[in-house]
Amino acid sequence: MARKATDCRDAPSVSGCSLYMSGEEDELERAAVQHVIAVHEHTDSPELRAEIRASMKEPLPGT
């Protein structure tokens, strides 16, 4: 399974967070959900997970 990536710098509402993560979609969703709950004060919900899935992109070369 190909890896995907999320980058907090892609989200204009998120200021000051530059976290970049990559991994297989399921791993990445779990890690990203925990990150946005812990750091960005989001609440876990199907909408949040859908948003995270939608923000996944192709990883940068070498990551």
Chain positions 9 to 38 lying near Zn ion, rule: CB under 5 A, are 17, 19
Query: Of 4, 5, 6, 8, which lies in the binding site for Zn ion, with binding defined by CB under 5 A?
Result: 8
Is residue 5 a contact point for Zn ion (CB under 5 A)? no
Between 1 and 15, CB nearer to Zn ion? 15
What residues contact 13, with CB distance under 8 A and at least 6 apart? none
Nearest distance from residue 7's CB to Zn ion, in Å?
9
Strand-pair category, 3-7 with 20-24: antiparallel
Please check whether residue 63 is in contact with residue 5, taking contact to mean a CB–CB distance below 8 angstroms: yes
